[in-house]
Amino acid sequence: MIPLLIPAALALAKVAAPWLAGKILGDDAGAVAARVVDVAQAATGTATPEAALAAAQANPEAAARVQEALMDLEATLAREETARLQTINDTARAETRSEDAYVRRWRPTWGYVTAATWALQGLGVLACLTGAVAATLRGEVSAVTALLTGASDLAGALTLQWGVALTVLGVAVQSRTRDKQVAAGSPPPTVWETVTSLVGAGRGRKGGR
Q: Is the domain of 41 the same as that of 66?
A: yes
Q: Is the domain of 75 the same as that of 132?
A: no
- Residue 166's pLDDT is 78
Q: Which of 73, 95, 117 is the last residue of a domain?
A: 95
Sign of the CA dihedral 12, 17, 20, 22? positive
CB 16 within 8 A of CB 63: yes
Q: Is the domain of 70 the same as that of 135?
A: no
pTM: 0.42
Q: Is the domain of 182 the same as that of 135?
A: yes
Question: Which region holds residue 45: left if phi is over 0, alpha if psi is between -120 and 50, else beta?
Answer: left
Tell me the mean pLDDT per 10 residues along the chain, length 209. 71 82 76 87 89 88 89 86 77 64 70 83 81 81 79 73 76 64 56 48 48
Kindly report the backbone phi and psi dihedral angles of residue 55, in degrees, each rounded to the nearest multiple of 5, phi listed first: -65, -40
Task: Write out the residue range of the structural domain in which residue 182 sits.
Answer: 101-198
How many Å apart are CA 8 and CA 14, to the nearest integer? Answer: 10
- Residue 42's pLDDT is 92
- Residue 21 maps to a domain: yes
What's the alpha-carbon Rg for the chain, to the nearest Å? 27
Indicate the number of domains in the chain.
2
